Structure formats: structure tokens, C-alpha cells
Chain A
Amino acid sequence: MPSYAARQRKSTIVMALCLMATIIGVAWLFLILFSLLWNGLPGLSLSTFTEMTPPPGSQSGGLLNALYGSLVMTVIGVGIGAPIGILAGTYLAEYGRHSKMTPVIRFINDILLSAPSIIIGLFVYGAVVVPMRSFSAVAGSLALAVIVIPVVVRTTEDMLLLVPNTLREAASALGLPRSYVIRKVAYRAARAGLITGVLLAVARVGGETAPLLFTVLSNQFWSANLLKPMANLPVTINNFINNPDANWKHLAWTGALLITVAVLSLNISARIFGASKDGR
């Protein structure tokens, strides 16, 4: 057995390494945020929000059509995915709590939660783009909805399972039907958690690029037609990075800064929102 001093030394060294790992881990975040601010902030101006994406070689331009497209597709995607996710989570936590299928559905849902998003893109390409014979904003929104569903199912189930059964029993004892117990009592008790789940889902799809690459493509111009390719921020950034045009590169950095700030603030507010309710 080594001496106590030697053991203590070994422990100190390992713990110092752990401290270093933590410092480096946190440093990555700040390094990335710093480069985004450094490269993206100078290009940020009012015209970013009022002008369209420019053709190559021009000196001006903004991201208006891309921002609009991203917003529209995120809203539609979450609008389709979140209700399905909440209902499915309700089934797992309430009606199907003792069903034999529930563990199977939960398991498949957990796998879909981490499935590569590019596979979702391939799926929607085969299921929507090929039959419709056109890349479209609808296809992109559906791809996002497929990504939203598992996220919302998971949080909804978790949050509903946290609601004490005594609440449900009290409501049932008053003679309320099951669906009223769930909608008026369980949903209300779990409201903060449910909203947190939806916010996290928005944050998750806000920056998704891979499933949009060959479902919506992108669009150089303003397009509000949901059945046509639509400009969107992630794919626009993707296309701008792959091009030597200096103006496009600046716009790509600015767009990246906007996406990151939006996604991270959604993440943080979802956490604050979820925590504020827990504390009460």
C-alpha cells in the first residue's frame, strides 16, 4: 500500500485534471461565442432585417427573406409537432400508463429523439418531396415537425408523471370525466413543464440545417408560397459559407450570430421558466 501522502498526491493530480477539463469545457463555449460576436457583430445593422439576401458580388443586402422563411417554417413545424407530441405524451403518462405498448412507444420515441436529423431529411424527401414533385416549405416544416414530436413527447410524459396522483383522484371523486381531469387538472399542474418542453423543441429546430437541405432547398428571393422552395437562415448560411464571396461570408457570420443568440436565449428562458415553477 502506498503511503498516505502518495495517495493524497495522486488524488490531487486527478482532481486538478478534472478542474482543467472543466475550465477547457467552459472555455469552448466562450471561444465560440466570442468568435461569433467578433465576426458577426460588425455586419449587424438595420439592413440585415430589411433587405433581401444579395446576389454574389454585391456590397449590401440583408437576411430578411431567410429570417422570414425560418420563422414561418419553425412556427408551422412546431404548430404541427407540438400538439401531436403533447397528446402522445398524455397517452403515455395517463391513458396508456399500464398498456403493454407504452414501453415500446417510449423506447422508439427515445431513439427518434437522438436519431440523425439528416435521416429525417431523407425520409421527408421520399415521403413528401418525391410525391409532390417539388421542394417546398411544407416539406421542410414537416421535417421539423418530425423532429419536434419526440422532444415534446418526452418532456410532456415526464412532466405529467410528476403531477401527484392525489390531485387526479380528488378530481375524479368530484365526478369529472377522465379527459377533464387531464385537461383541467393535470395539464394545469404541469403547465410550466409543458411550455418548457415546447420552448426546448423550438430551440432544437431553430438551427436545424440537415433536414432542410433537400426538403426546402433555399431561395435567393422573397417567397411566401408554402409549396415552393423558401429561403431560410440555416441553409442560407450553409450556401454562403461554401462561397468565396466576402460579402456573403460576412452575412453568414451575422446570420450565425442571430441563430445562436436566438437558440441560446430560448434555451436559457426555457430553463428559467421550468425552474421558477419548481421552486414554488
Chain B
Amino acid sequence: MRRPETLLRLVDGWVFAREDPRRLAAVRIGLCGLLALRFAIADYGVVARLPASFFHPVFYMKLFERMPSPEVATVLQICGIVAALLAAAGLALRLSLPLAVVCSLVLNGMLNSAGRVIVGDAVLTLCLLVLLACGTAASEAWSLGEHLRRALQRFRRAPAPGPRIAPSPIRSGERYGWPIRTAMIAIALAYFLAGFQKWRYSGLPWITSDNLRLILYDQAHPSGLALFIADRPLLAHVFAAGSLLLETCFPLVLFLPRLRWLLIPGVVAMHVGIRIALKLDYSAQWLAAVIVFVNWPVAVAWVRHAMARVPMPREAPR
């Protein structure tokens, strides 16, 4: 067999390998919960109140003649929070998840139509698009829907239709695996391409020149951390090299799972550093990476096991 075909088969086998449905459910809970949080803490009114001259629509926002009003933004924000929470709970996923994603696209589109496209939530949105494409597979475990159905049955005192409400054994399947691994590849590509563009447009001078110092100084009010690094050229070169190496090597987490213990905390630390030094919020990106790459059923089982080993506290003597 020729090499490209073999490689393609290997990739296909990896992407479409079987997976525990609870892992996909955990990704659903995490990503939708994060989306609800993003809706709740963002101030879309800032851009909704901008004068018409500041409306510079990008991509699909060109469908809008002007910036949606603050009232529309508030309605979308409330709908988005409710829909995202319902989707996180696994309720009416066919309706709740598309609604949450549409609200997110419009509200993020508003933020991106005010003069600068903000990359912060792009990775989260890409992962949500994958979740959207996998249909109801993401709500087949760890969902409130099944509990609600059982409670309703008990309330009505109707005889339970055996197989429907009986606790189903956890069966792994291909349909639970490809969404997780596609999201993993999307995240890995996001980091790799950010590094690739630096090599493409700047090359080694991105590390060896004063570039990072200039980025850190180029703020109205640089933070103490920004000035601490920018005032020390050698330290700035080390940070520049570290971040470029991290971005370029990030796809290794796909092939070498052990490297996740190093590279995932690495990107979290990089984004926290960027938040403090440049006041740029990439929390949605690193949280999406943590949600997608951590094997939550294993983590939950480990925590349960660890807690079971801890002896119960005795009652204090009186």
C-alpha cells in the first residue's frame, strides 16, 4: 500500500476510534457551561452603543445593515445564557445548542465589528461547531433529560417502559470519539498556525529582535509584569522563544499523550501571563483546551477513588 494511503488510514483510525460517551458528555457540559459564563460576563453594550461610523462588519456580520441595538444584544445575551445552560444539562440539545451558537455568533460578531477582530472566543466557537455537528450523541450520557423522564414517570405512576428508562450500560462507540478528536485537532491547529504565522512573517527575528519588548511597551498603561520583562532584553528573548516553541510544538499533544501534562499547563501559563502583561483575555481558549484534552470520566473516577480511601472524620469528643 502506498504511504499517503497508509497515513490517511492511520489518521482516520485515530479520529474515528471508539470513545466513552461520558467523555463527550463532559466536553458538552464544559463547553456549554463556558459559553454561558462568557455570555454572562461580557459587556456587549459597549459596542451596541457605538455610533454608526464605528460599525465595520466582518464576514457574516455584513448581513446586518447596522450594529444591533443594546436591547437586541440584551435579548440575545439572555437567550444565549438559557440555551447554553440547557445544552450543558443535555436538555433539548437539538434546539438549545443551535440557539446558543447562533446567539454567540451574533454577539461575538458585534464585538468583531468594532474595528478589530478578537480571536479570544474563536477556538471555543470552533469546538461548539463540532459539538453541533455530532447531533444528539453528546447528550447520551450525563444528561438531565433521562432523570427528568424518570421523575415524570414516577409522578404519573405509570408503568415504566423497561428498556427505555433502565440504566443503560455504558457502551463506547465511534460516534462519541470523532467530535472530541476533531476538537483536539482544531485546538492544536489554532496554536500551531499562530506559531506558523510568526515564522512566516517574521522568522527568527521574532525571538532575536526587540519585538516582544516593543509589544510589551506598546500599551497606554503597561503592567508591572510587562515592564519587568520589557526592561530586561534577555528575559524578553527567553519568553519570546518559549512561547513560539510552545505554539509550534503544540500538535505533539495529539500523538504523544504524555506531553499533555507539559504543554497544556504551558499554554495555560502563557495565556495567564498574556492576561497580566497585555490585558488580553484568552481565557475562553485555554479553558476550551483544558475541557477538550482532559479525560473527565477518568478524572472523576480518580477523584472518587481517592475520596473513598479517605477515612470518614470521627465525631469530636464532647
A and B bound?
A: no
